[in-house]
Amino acid sequence: MTPHTETAHSTAWSTSLPAPLHPGAPPRSILVVEDERDIAELIALHLSELPAQVTMASDGLSGRDLALQHPWDAIVLDIRLPGLNGLDLCRELRAQLLPVPILMLTARSAELDRVLGLELGADDYLTKPFSVIELQARVKALLRRSAITQAVQNEATAQKPSMFIRGSLKVDRLQRRAWLSGIEVALAPREFDLLWHFVQHPGRVFTRTELLDEVWGYSHDGYDHTVNSHINRLRSKLGDERADAGFIHTVWGVGYRFEAAA
């Protein structure tokens, strides 16, 4: 099948619920890139309840085309796809600095290792088989963050500080960009959120649970590895190579603390 044909399918599969759960809230737009049609339809059915307008793509290339065409509120991305696999697709979207939250679907723990190890810039992941309740919860959290991001970007006349500059580090909240010694640091959306959260509270120690709650929007714990993985990527990008130097410090047995030398 050609990518063109798949794109046509994607449109045909679009689905949404007419009645929003919260009256007045516009449905969010979600792109689901998954080649197994049964799974894709199950995902679409349950995400439409959020409510959301779900568009499906059944291969990596049409998924990429759609991802780049629209400002999606979230993308659910399977790893094993014909045409272009989900790992490469995710990396490509991040290389283009697309700020959309991405939830990766992995079939095996070996794939999960790759998701966590490759610094792809995915915001979250689920291992198949997953429960639809868990899927809804994860996507809801991504959408909440997406809404917050949007609100922040809309704050043209924000009263809150929108810039952090200390030593070699500069972070611009409205542009959602960061620089180290004048060189831009390419950060995935969640990495930026984490960094902005830290720079607002220099010296304060955050537990992983607090970071999950305040940055990811999860109300439950049990995802310490998600925090660790993002912290490690952020540290690597900030050049934090030694435990006693750099910006983000591990507070053993507690969590993390941000320090910026003047």
Which two tokens mark 228? 């660790």
Which two tokens mark 127? 């291992």
Q: Which CB sits closer to Ca ion, 80 or 237?
A: 80
Among 10, 29, 35, 75, binds Ca ion (CB under 5 A): 35
β-bridge pairing 177-180 and 183-185: antiparallel
Among 6, 59, 73, 78, binds Ca ion (CB under 5 A): 78
Q: Which CB sits closer to Ca ion, 81 or 143?
A: 81
- 165-184 positions binding Ca ion, by CB under 5 A: none
Nearest residue to the partner Ca ion, using Cβ: 80
User: In terms of C-beta density within 10 A (0-12 exposed, 13-18 middle, 19 or more buried), how is residue 180 classed?
Assistant: middle
- Among candidate residues 123, 114, 125, 57, the one with its CA nearest the CA of residue 87: 114
| Binding-residue total with Ca ion (CB under 5 A) | 3
Q: Of the ranges 25-33, 35-43, 64-72, 232-240, which one interacts with Ca ion (CB under 5 A)?
A: 35-43
Contact 76, 31 (CB under 8 A): yes
Least separation in angstroms between CB 128 and Ca ion: 9
Least separation in angstroms between CB 30 and Ca ion: 17
C-alpha of 17 from chain center? 24
Buried-state track 47-81, b at ≥16 Cβ within 10 A, e below 16 = bbebbbbbbbbbbbbbbbebbeeeebbbbbbbbbb
Least separation in angstroms between CB 77 and Ca ion: 10
- Sign of the Cα pseudo-torsion (218, 222, 226, 231, in order): positive
Q: Which CB sits closer to Ca ion, 107 or 137?
A: 107
**By the rule CB under 5 A, 111 interacts with Ca ion:** no
Q: Of the ranges 12-20, 59-67, 79-87, 122-130, which one interacts with Ca ion (CB under 5 A)?
A: 79-87
Q: Which CB sits closer to Ca ion, 40 or 227?
A: 40
Among 17, 20, 46, 80, binds Ca ion (CB under 5 A): 80
In whole angstroms, give the CA distance from residue 37 to residue 71. Answer: 24
Q: Which CB sits closer to Ca ion, 104 or 171?
A: 104
Q: Which residues form the interface with Ca ion (CB under 5 A)?
A: 35, 78, 80
